[in-house]
Structure 1
Amino acid sequence: MENNRFFITGVGTDVGKTYISSLLYKELKKYMSIDYFKPIQSGCYYEDGKLIAPDLKFLADFNDEEYKGERCSCKLIPEVSPHLASEIEKKIIDLDLIEREFYKKISRCENILVEGAGGIYVPIIRDKFYIYDLIKKLNLPVILVANTKVGGINHAMLSIKFLESLNIEIYGIIFNGYTGEDFEKDNIKVILKDSKIKKFLVVEKNQKNILKEELFKFFEI
């Protein structure tokens, strides 16, 4: 794995993007220099006079690291879609700033995990710019986080087909929250067969580590 950068998005909100991002970051940093970037975060809050981005806090706590607020370019307080949060706060989301900070980060560290907000179609600027636009702007392949519960096939395949329609590269898929049920195994089998995606990981609920051989196979290390 050399000079690799990935955009981590999900089939929807609460599918576990931050957990998966934190887990991948934890495992990859054992073997290489890697950074994490969250371009936009809504649902931020003040703690000791400092505006905290919850996903950055989760990643820091998960990895027993110091919280680094500079890993997020745009912090918004209302816990709603970024476009609405920015409107409520009367705050402009500076896309050029996001791009500049992204390139500044990769100039310092070639490997990076970029985490989106919500799903692929989440608006960043109303009627103008969406998460999928940000993926294209940063020119990153996607790691799609999906779930294995009932309804997972529909959510995953709609997301995959939409990404393909935009000619956005799907690097691989990570199935999160696996509990070993027979229907989950079948969901995974159907999604992989119909999507023809070759690279995948299956992560159990609250899993703390990824086996080295599975990690290396997924990232071709």
Structure 2
Amino acid sequence: MHHIKAILFDKDGTLFDFHASWAGWAEGELNALAEGDPLRRADLARAIGFDLATRGFAPDAPIIASTLQETAALMVPHLPGVALPDLIARLRSSGARAEMVPAVPLRPLMLRLRAHGLVLGIATNDAESAAHMHLDRAGISDQFDQVLGYDSGFTPKPAPDMLHAFARATGHDSAAVLMVGDSLHDLTAGRAAGMMTMAVLTGIAKAADLSPMADLLAPDIGHLPDLLGLE
């Protein structure tokens, strides 16, 4: 692991606990969009893979790794009279305001990684502007050399485009970059980019789902220093 010079993180489910961060937001948006119609609410929930009874996401919920545009496209057929661009704008705005719950204490971890000379970045299928807002509120926006979202000009994950862009921008060969994420989209992108991959279990996917595509597997990103052999 001493050949790793940079770490590229997914955001939701990796830096931030997915369920703790997004379940409340999803429930609130579904209630608001349904406007008191229980059938519409159920249809919207089903479209994004949200279980209204448990207030949780299904393991295969499309919202987990989808871009904002993809999520809105799943919902808009159940919202008569709502235009897709308007729904995208609404979800972008409300999602940026969602209260993110860190998976671990983030700033001490990022400072420790950077102290060992590691270059850090974000590749998320969320909007770039929302990612910056979430990182800023978590007090870690200054720790990343590059933040890329689905709307940053590159094909989103599971394509490797964002990952290649990060490697080019930071001057590192892909083999020297570790891609860390909580979904198969993250790991598939990492493998396609020629990077090492690390799966964490702070998203929705289980270890059995992720391990075939992961070079490393850990409960959360707090295990990174030990796995990298940092003092």
TM-score, normalised on structure 2? 0.43
- Higher share of residues assigned strand: 1
- Higher share of residues assigned helix: 2
